[in-house]
Amino acid sequence: MTATFSENTAPPRLAAIDVARGGAVYIMALYHLAWDLNDFKFTSFALFTDPFWLGARTVIVSAFLFLAGLSLVLADRRGRGWLAFGRRVAVVAVGAGLVSLGTWFMFSTNYVFFGVLHCIAVSSLIVLPFLRWPAWVAALVGLDILVAPMFLSHSFFDQAWLQWVGLVTQMPQSVDYVPLFPWTGVIMLGVAYGLWQRERPAGSLSDWHPNNAVSDFTAWLGRHSLVVYIVHQPLLIGLVWLAAKLIR
């Protein structure tokens, strides 16, 4: 059984999901601002060792991936069609390529060869068949993928051309590493949650709408999160660089 992405009459986007994604954008921007402040010697946050910062990164990545999985279910429910699905995956893949190219110029030895966007693009294809399975199946598979690195990691996957799989025994050098294992499991859990919600009567999520300027803007960020993801870091770097020039 596979997803049909049929062209049926589509229910509208859920504003609550857009706001949730927009909230993740806020947290991501703050995290990257901390990174940039470190680079320009304004601060010395222990981003790679402090449990707070490690936890913050995990929450940010998990939020985007979970919502990506949930959005696949919602897109199928809205009858977006195969063309729209393929176009979306292609756009995300192009964004992933831009991130790799940009970080290669900035961090040639630690560039992003498989980050959040790479994971979303590939995992969208992997989880697609599960859009027509029961929610419990997607949840079980998602949990299996999450724990797989604990049992299946092998030095074979430490080779550069296989590191994107994630079953490594040594972490590769990259400023953002989001491999298929375990992170596709988070996307699959988003799919499971979406399937579970689809089997229930419409509730508060579908009824809620932004009712002030902040939530309106947050929803707008969520609707354009891919563009914001690509452009926010160059903008932040420019602002911190300018501050460094003015202060020093």
The answer to which of 57-71, 126-140, 197-211 has the lowest mean pLDDT is 197-211
What token pair was written down for 53? 């910062």
Give the mean pLDDT of the chain.
90
What integer is the mean pLDDT of 194-213? 71
d(CA 51, CA 46): 9
Which residues, other chains included, contact 121 with Cβ-Cβ below 8 Å and sequence gap of 6+? 89, 92, 93, 96
Q: Tell me: pLDDT of 8 over 60.
A: no
> What's the mean pLDDT in 59-69?
97
What 3-state class would DSSP assign to 177? strand
What average pLDDT does range 63-73 have in this prediction?
96
Q: Which residues of 212-242 are buried (b: 16+ CB within 10 A; e: fewer)?
A: eeebeebbebbbebbebbbebbeebbeebee
Mean pLDDT of 8-18: 69
Whether residue 90 has pLDDT greater than 70: yes
Sequence-distant (≥ 6) Cβ neighbours of residue 120 within 8 angstroms: 64, 65, 68, 92, 96, 187
Single out the residue of 13, 76, 63 nearest to residue 190, CA to CA. Answer: 63
Tokens of residue 92, six digits: 């995300």
Question: Is the pLDDT assigned to residue 6 strictly greater than 50?
Answer: no
Answer yes or no: are the C-beta atoms of 53 and 172 closer than 8 Å. no
What confidence category does residue 178 fall into, taking pLDDT thresholds of 50, 70 and 90? very high
pLDDT in tens, 119-160: 999 999 999 999 999 999 999 999 999 999 999 999 999 999
Which residue ranges make up each domain of the chain?
Answer: 15-247
- For 244, what's the count of Cα atoms within 13 Å in the CB-facing half-sphere? 14
User: Residue 3: what pLDDT?
Assistant: 53
> Which has more confidence, 52 or 10?
52
Helix crossing, 213-223 with 15-39: angle to 10°? 80
Amino acid (1-letter code) at residue 76: D
- CA–CA gap between residue 115 and residue 184 (Å, rounded): 12
Confidence of residue 84 (pLDDT cuts 50, 70, 90): confident
